[in-house]
Homo-oligomer: A and B are copies of this chain.
Amino acid sequence: MTFLRKSETTRAAIIERALDLASHEGLEALTLGSLADSMKMSKSGVVARVGSRETLQLAVLDDYRRRFEAQVLRPSTSRPPGLPRLRLLFEMSLAQVGEGRTAGCFYISCAAEYDDRPGALRIEVSSSVAAWREAFERSAAQAVALGQLASDTDPAQLVFEIYALLLAAQHDTRLLERSEGIAHARAGFERLLARCLPSDKATIAP
């Protein structure tokens, strides 16, 4: 029993370290050997706990999915539907972009890495990103249905533009090392919403 618990802890610690490495170097650069070195374990010890390299990569994505659900998707459902939920989704997503531990949002890093690599990892990344986008689109559609946004607002177009701001915030912060990326994204979001206000509303309740 104690042994089982210890081995479970070790597996969780290995996956966590693997996420750290993959978020900086890329998920494709992750190898069982480099992970074992970084954990000061034998490669066979790592294999015994996480299996093959692809099983490990999938476990890393699964670990991030659980974090992302807990930190981004679930908190937003505690807010009323529509605009309040859309706002929280944006803020929590932006917090992922600014997250130093995982070197920004791990899905955004993985998107470019897997967009042209068919296989199980690509399916996992694209379905997680699609679920994230759907959460945004649901909230935008609810905001329109509730009259919080103008009735001619196209939720898919609006969410494309919101998501674009998140991608650019990560790009500018990380590649160009421009610290104003997060502030630019926030200002862009406010102007996007202002543009979509119903004509009888002057301000948006946060």
Contacts and interface: CB of A to CB of B under 8 A. Distances in A.
Interface centre among A114, A116, A167, A188 (most CB of B within 10 A): A167
Contacts of A181: 160
Interface stretch (A10-18, A69-77, A172-180): A172-180
Contacts of A115: 103-104, 109, 171, 174-175
A130 interface: yes
B26 A175 contact: no
Contacts of A185: 160, 164
Given A175-B126, A195-B191, A116 B160 contact: no
Interface string A164-206: 1101100110111100110011011001000100000000000
A53 to B, nearest CB: 15
Contact of A112 (B24, B109, B191): B109
Contacts of A165: 161, 164
A60 to B, nearest CB: 16
B29 A187 contact: no
A108 interface: yes
Interface residues of A, number: 45
Count identical subunits in the complex. Answer: 2
Interface of A is mostly: helix
Interface string A99-130: 00001100011011111110000000110011
Given A168-B167, A188-B161, A195-B191, A156 B180 contact: yes
B167 A171 contact: yes
A126 B177 CA distance: 9
A25 interface: yes
Contacts of A26: 26, 28, 113
Nearest to A167: B167
A2 interface: no
* 5 pairs of A and B residues whose beta carbons are closest in the complex: A164-B168, A112-B112, A164-B164, A115-B174, A115-B175
